Structure 1
């Protein structure tokens, strides 16, 4: 079985999407809120919001938006709106510093931002 990457760049027709595979822990204390770990398989997040009425999903989008420095409107939950494992898509255009960014450079830069470096 092929393993999934935590951060993956995919091309769909004329656009590029960066996919973040996240594992969310809702109901955490405010002190633990944020990105706790980035593994090869997932971006681990803790949110203080409860998993009801989309509150945890909203908190996930806010944390990723702040961390990556992009508008919340550029983030979309593609899969897992009702589970702890989520796939979040981001338009690669909003993340690229230069058009010449190579795929590996973009993924490495996003990984560093998520780790807080």
Structure 2
């Protein structure tokens, strides 16, 4: 089974510039509050550390908070669509409005994530 890229875009509709951003993540729960955030970005995975433990959905909520801070978007635009009870998750972010082509948008998003990872380390 081929690996999916860490960052993917999908159109909301053919007439709209609004896109969904899909992020393949590996989550490490239970870290110290100082280490919380995006830790690394590779071609196939985004590593995220959260201080919450995986109980009652708290770690999932923390993942949403991390990406809300990185992309400066409302938490309501961020959903975990796969892996609710797993460390490997697919996170969907709605309402990404892009004017450049898909590859340029993915490059910009990768730079945002890498910048967040540098601040975390």
Task: Give the TM-score normalised by the residue count of structure 2.
Answer: 0.86
Residues 22-101 of structure 1: pairs in structure 2 closer than 5 A: 22-91=25-94, 94-96=95-97, 98=98, 100-101=99-100
Within 2, Cα distance between the matches of 1:62 and 1:107?
21
Measure the CA separation in 1 of the matches of 2:27 and 2:115.
18
Which residue number corresponds to residue 4 of structure 2? 4
Find the counterpart in structure 2 of residue 103 from structure 1. 102
TM-score, length basis structure 1 = 0.88
1:27 alignment partner, SS class: coil
Q: Superposition RMSD on alpha carbons, in Å?
A: 1.6
> Structure 1: which 5+ runs fail to align?
none
Take 2:74 and 2:19, find their aligned partners in 1: how far apart are those partners?
17
Structure 2's unaligned 5+ residue stretches are 117-121
